[in-house]
Structure 1
Amino acid sequence: MPFTLVGPCEYREEIRKSRFITLAAPIASAADAHAFLEQHSDLNATHNCWAWKLADQYRSNDDGEPGGTAGRPILAAIEAQAFDQVVVLVIRWYGGIQLGTGGLARAYGGGANKCLQQADRILLINRVPLNFDCSFSELAMVKLRLAELNGLVTDEAFTANGVQLQVSLGPEHLDILQRQLADLSRGRIVLQRQPSE
């Protein structure tokens, strides 16, 4: 069973005078991964190497380190611990001592491993993306019903007439939520599946 992170985490270490900071976070899309990398990469560092995995999509980058010594070991650390929907960034400040290709792979993969090992994780539940509208007065009860079914609010937009919600929910709970929301709104709230990207 795959896991994802509860929230962002960090691990720091020094290896032969090079400083390494590993940052990891949960993601829901490739855009989330790119936003995280853009926000946390340090342009003053020697290298910003990374990897992310999202179901069957994955990417990695060595950022100037010898090919295969950074991005792939980071990705291997993600997969070895059964993580999914995760991005990992390892930032290195060169300390003047060469680590060699094996040393680099151990440093990047090891930092990613240690960061993920100490992180809070949750079992990844397969959820279906949905959207619907509700009134302002229904919002609190809608969120309560969703939380009871282990669903997530992924986006909400307030309009003049109410709230447009995007949520994700386990497929086994769809009928229950639809019934509850129909009862709550006298049949006005109808769940709609979001088109897959």
Structure 2
Amino acid sequence: MPFSLAQPAQHELVIKKSRFIACVEPVAGREAAQRRVAQLKAEHPDAAHVCWALLAGGQSAANDDGEPGGTAGRPMLEVLRHHDLQGVMASVVRYFGGVKLGAGGLVRAYTDAVAQALLTAKKIALIQTVQLACSVPYALEGWVRRELDLAQAQLQTVTHASVVSLLFALPETRAVALSERLSEGGRGQLLWLDAKEFAETHRDNAPHA
């Protein structure tokens, strides 16, 4: 199960006079991560490097910010991946102490700084949601809506044509039970639709009250 963080957490290491100030925090995507990096650089104008990594699905990224390639961003990203995190950014501000650490030393320093910060971070489970879509005769619309309310499903799109079609989302852990209830209660009149295709076709249809 993937996790995010409840709030930012920090840790500082000093290795051979270099300071490594690590922060791990929830960040939704690359644009937000880049804004955060700009903020860190403004807060630490004398720092030699502000390296960072973001684990956020298709927006994941790693940046060495001038350190030798593969010695900072990628190792930090691997730490986030090892902890099964999503939507989380790790950043490390480095103040150079005058002693070079070598590639291996840098990998260890950036890895340890982020790992230590995560030790104090509070993780929160990310509950996966799924989309489902179905169509029913008008006579069953009210019943379907009541079942969605009971399951705490979010009604996203409703269309009224020869039948009523509904697109909704709910936590994956409740999806199977709701599907079975709707299939059974629909008495053969409920038809399941391709949710992704339905969402793309009717993306401009807001649910009716």
Give the aligned partner of residue 10 of structure 2. Answer: 10
Identity of aligned residues (%): 39
* Corresponding letter in the other structure for 2:57: A
| Unaligned ranges ≥5, structure 2 | 132-151, 155-168, 179-198, 204-209
Residues 39, 76 of structure 1: CA spacing in aligned structure 2 closer, same or farther, 3 A cutoff?
same
Where do 4+ consecutive residues of structure 1 move more than 4 Å?
A: none
- Superposed displacement of residue 7, structure 1: 0.9
What's the secondary structure of 2:93's corresponding residue? strand
Aligned residues: 144
**Deviations 1:28-62 (CA, angstroms, capped at 9, x unpaired):** 22222222222223232001000001124311111
- Superposed displacement of residue 92, structure 1: 0.3
* Corresponding letter in the other structure for 1:126: Q
Residues 100, 32 of structure 1: CA spacing in aligned structure 2 closer, same or farther, 3 A cutoff?
same
Give the aligned partner of residue 40 of structure 2. Answer: 40
TM-score for both structures, normalised by structure 1: 0.64
* Corresponding letter in the other structure for 2:21: I
CA distance in 2, matches of 1:127, 1:34: 27
Give the aligned partner of residue 21 of structure 2. Answer: 21
CA distance in 2, matches of 1:56, 1:110: 25
**Deviations 1:116-136 (CA, angstroms, capped at 9, x unpaired):** 12200001122479xxxxxxx
Give the aligned partner of residue 65 of structure 1. Answer: 67
RMSD: 2.8
What's the secondary structure of 1:119's corresponding residue? coil
What are the within-5 Å matches in structure 2 for residues 135-150 of structure 1?
none
Residues 2, 12 of structure 1: CA spacing in aligned structure 2 closer, same or farther, 3 A cutoff?
same
- Superposed displacement of residue 115, structure 1: 0.9
What's the secondary structure of 1:48's corresponding residue? strand
Q: Look at both structures and tell me which one has the larger radius of gyration over its CA atoms.
A: 2
User: Could you tell me whether the CA contact under 8 Å between 2:5 and 2:122 is conserved in 1?
Assistant: yes
Give the aligned partner of residue 94 of structure 1. Answer: 96
| Unaligned ranges ≥5, structure 1 | 130-148, 152-167, 176-192
* Corresponding letter in the other structure for 2:108: R
User: Could you tell me whether the CA contact under 8 Å between 2:10 and 2:22 is conserved in 1?
Assistant: yes
* Corresponding letter in the other structure for 1:170: P
Give the aligned partner of residue 83 of structure 1. Answer: 85
